Structure 1
């Protein structure tokens, strides 16, 4: 069942999605009908998506941060050369436009550019996940 915690190789993981033999995603299922169990670690860092909207051009990045790191709407954040203000967040249960949430509940942070001279609450540059660009097959 989604939300259930399992031990895998001495590590706690939480089931986030299940895929059954009929090819569909389900919230719970008999083990004999499962093809894939999707889970996330509860012990290591958590991955959070970040989208910064530059007036139609979106910079999309991912960061690996401590699970209990608190993000708040209105915070100013440094990410590489970008400095942005958090405008909203998508969590596992809702969209937040006021207040905050710990990183382990956040799926994506949405921001707008801030002045690079603005003071920022935290620098996530060292937490950036390197993305690999797909190679041209021509």
Structure 2
């Protein structure tokens, strides 16, 4: 199996940082391109509460994605970044369908601790529904 396009969901959590590190190692070996994606969780019911902070949130996300891209560029790995808004699982799955990735590498659990002791809700959703391999890093 050839990996040309790797997707890395990234939320700046320790697990996502580790997943990015592993993805960069694999990409260097296989000459793959990496897309780093972050989904700003957004629900229309909370729009009025979140709206005043939208620019601040975007700036924060852009900074840690830029830091992640710098790590990739140190290893001469071509990267693309995506910032999406909505339900993280749905948005990542939608991106996967549009861009036809060969592999997804992600952390076991992100910044939220709302689910049980196993997989996080986003990683679980991707493992359950993805048509491409998903490598979970813990």
TM class by shorter chain equals under 0.3
Bigger strand share:
1
TM-score for the superposition, normalised by structure 1: 0.25
Bigger helix share:
2
- Greater relative contact order, per chain length (Cα 8 Å cut-off, separation 6+): 2
